[in-house]
Amino acid sequence: MKTDPSSSPAGRPANADALEARFALRLTAQLEGSARQAPHDISERLRVARQQALAQARRPTAARSPERVAAPAVMPVSLGSSGAAALLQGGTAGGDDTSLWSRLGWLLPALALLLGLIGIGQWHDMESIAAMAELDAELLGDDLPPAAYADAGFSEFLKRPLDVALPAHTDEAARSEPATQP
Amino acid sequence: MATEQELSDFLQNIEKRAFKRTVYAVRDEDAALDIVQDAMIRLAQRYGDRPAAELPLLFQRILSNATMDWFRHQKVRNGVLRNFSDFEPAGVDEDFDLLEHLTSSHQAPGNEAEAADVAASRAQTLLLIEEEVARLPARQREAFLMRYWEEMDVAETAVAMGCSEGSVKTHCSRAVHALAKALQAKGISL
Instruction: State yes or no: pLDDT of B185 exceeds 70.
Output: yes
Binned at pLDDT 50, 70 and 90, residue B171 comes out as very high
Q: What digits encode the pLDDT tens for the residues A33-55?
A: 888 888 888 899 999 999 988 88
List B residues 108-167 in contact with A (Cβ-Cβ < 8 A): 125-126, 129-130, 133, 144-145, 147-149
Q: Supply the pLDDT for residue B141.
A: 93
| CB within 8 Å: B20 and A50 | no
Q: Which residues in A lie closer than 8 A to residue B104 (C-beta atoms)?
A: 37, 39
Distance CA A81, CA A84 (A): 9
pLDDT in tens, B56-81: 989 999 999 999 889 988 888 877 66
Provide mean pLDDT across the span B135-162: 91
In this predicted structure, what is the pLDDT of residue B18? 92
Mean pLDDT of chain B, nearest integer: 81
The set of residues, in sequence order, having a beta carbon less than 8 Å from that of A46 and lying 6+ positions away, is: A38, B15, B16, B19, B33, B36
Residues of B in contact with A35 (CB under 8 A): 16-17, 19-20
Shortest CB distance from A49 goes to which of B36, B104, B133? B36
- Arithmetic mean of pLDDT, B84-101: 47
pLDDT at B35 over 80: yes
Contact: A24, B11; criterion CB under 8 Å: no
Statement: the pTM of the whole predicted model exceeds 0.90: no
C-alpha to C-alpha distance for B59 and B36, rounded to whole angstroms: 10
Q: Residue A42's closest chain B neighbor by CA?
A: B33
B50 has pLDDT over 80: yes
pLDDT values of chain A reduced to their tens digit, one per residue, 182 residues: 433 444 444 456 667 788 888 888 888 888 888 888 888 888 999 999 999 888 887 775 555 444 444 444 434 333 344 444 444 444 444 445 566 777 778 888 899 999 999 999 999 999 999 999 999 898 888 888 878 888 888 888 888 877 665 655 555 555 555 544 44
Percent of chain B with pLDDT over 90: 32
